[in-house]
Chain A
């Protein structure tokens, strides 16, 4: 079977675009995991909820940018409440229990989404409909815009963590929770804020993904699985590694989709995970530990 050069090129760009959305999800997950050892099984469901909130806002206001903002803020607040009510009591207990608690939350959120919004997919209207012409190839502007937006959000997060006052609080808490507390940093508040940031980023990726794939209650599990694969392949708790791994995994899936059906293309990323576990259990995108 011959695969044209055009197709390969388009799939490459597609892979990078999807990779940036995935990176947005995975970096929130990594951030939450790094700071409080909480493994958020419900992270993909926050993406899904964000997508639905965005779709509802667009349906009533017609403004994509407003929807992006509303979804991020609403889900961030929701995430803060969730963290304060269900995860805060579990701090200091066995990490298994946070897996179980967030798994319970994930079930509730999934079923709630079906109950509230029904089983059919919601499609979000893209804010930018034109095509981008590159020699003889056509490519939708919106996809390029998505990748740029995701990059901008991740970049802003990086700058905030690096230079912002509260960013330094977050990094201090990640490094040493007890010492940070001793220096007067309100650690429980930092935990809640980080969860809120992660949730808000997940919601933003849900809205960005909306025009590409549509929002259904099933995308949660998909995103959770992919984000975890990315976190393992990229090296655990490593922000740069997760971004590279997101693009890597998405490219693999995009190329695989040229040959097999998209449902089977997922298996390729699973295989990438297994191979990583076998040969580089510390992650592909980290320096070899000495």
Chain B
């Protein structure tokens, strides 16, 4: 047992080190690609709290992601001079508020009805953002300038490709450690108990609804953080990111990588983005046809995802 824990952290440190030196070795295009994988990976990881640990498939993660994005945009457009940390704060507050709102209604339902309700909410927010042109910029979205990277009182400078990558990597790593800690805490155990047997968890005396609401909020918080990172990287917020397709992709990341592992969804995001990159050369915008077929086949034949599959192979 002791040894496997050590090898886990050694493996973690090696991967972290590789990701940290990646921008120095990779050309511009691939560096950006790796940064994007990390951001989408964080979004997928946040959704894993619901899919993998609580057994609720959310088709509304684009709302949390999008609200994080738009609130960060609002902060960057209204505060002078634009400040990174205020943007993060706004983004998190926005995502938290909206996830409380969604969770209050959606957690009353289970299984597919939860999924559909989250999907309905993502459509509501999409319609609102799309039609409320005065505030959200409507179809065109909002464009803003990148805030400087600053550590208050110590250091301040402009974002470059490398520092942006390191900043994203640091945020994602810290988020991963927090989420990992949460899933191993008594709170995380209760979530897993709800996944395994909800009536029983209720019978033991846990207020299941409250746990579910907190789980959705936790998940929404980190999804919003991913939205803030994406906004900072790309300097715009667009309604496309609130659309249901993004939520669907997040679910695909999870299933491809392996749910209930936290690392799996990041692997899934990397796998999906690589597939998209490779397949869109042959299939142009129809890359979702082969990706959808691969995804469906994986649900049937490889329900544990890539990571679970690899783990089982290694154990044999």
Beta-carbon contacts under 8 Å, B79-119 to A: 105, 108-109, 111-113, 115-117, 119
Q: Would A97 and B288 count as touching, CB distance under 8 A? A: no
List chain A residues, Cβ under 8 A from B65.
Answer: none
Q: B120: which of A103, A104, A112, A225 is its contact (CB, 8 Å)? A: A225
Complex Cα distance, B116 from A232, in Å, reads 10
Complex Cα distance, B131 from A261, in Å, reads 10
Interface size of A as a range: 35 or more
List chain B residues, Cβ under 8 A from A96.
Answer: 51, 55, 57, 111
List chain A residues, Cβ under 8 A from B120.
Answer: 225, 228-229, 270, 273-274
Q: Would A277 and B115 count as touching, CB distance under 8 A? A: no
Complex Cα distance, B130 from A261, in Å, reads 13
What is the minimal beta-carbon distance from B178 to any residue of chain A, in angstroms?
25
Q: Does A95 contact B (CB under 8 A)?
A: yes
Q: A100: which of B108, B119, B255, B293 is its contact (CB, 8 Å)? A: B255
Q: Would B108 and A115 count as touching, CB distance under 8 A? A: no
Q: Does B170 contact A (CB under 8 A)?
A: no
Q: Which of A85-93, A146-154, A164-172 lies on the face that meets chain B?
A: A85-93
Q: Does A101 contact B (CB under 8 A)?
A: yes
Interface size of B as a range: 35 or more
Name which residue of chain A comes closest to B111, CB basis: A95
Q: Does A133 contact B (CB under 8 A)?
A: no
Q: Which of B216-224, B231-239, B296-304 lies on the face that meets chain A?
A: B296-304
Q: Would B288 and A107 count as touching, CB distance under 8 A? A: yes
Q: Mark A247-281, 1 if CB is under 8 A from B, else 0.
A: 00000000000000101101100100110011001
List chain B residues, Cβ under 8 A from A90.
Answer: 299-300
Shortest Cβ-Cβ A-B pairs, 4 listed: A104-B296, A108-B292, A107-B292, A39-B112
Binding site for A on B (CB under 8 A): 51, 55, 57, 105, 108-109, 111-113, 115-117, 119-121, 123-124, 127-128, 130-131, 244, 248, 251-252, 255, 286, 288-289, 291-293, 295-296, 299-300, 303
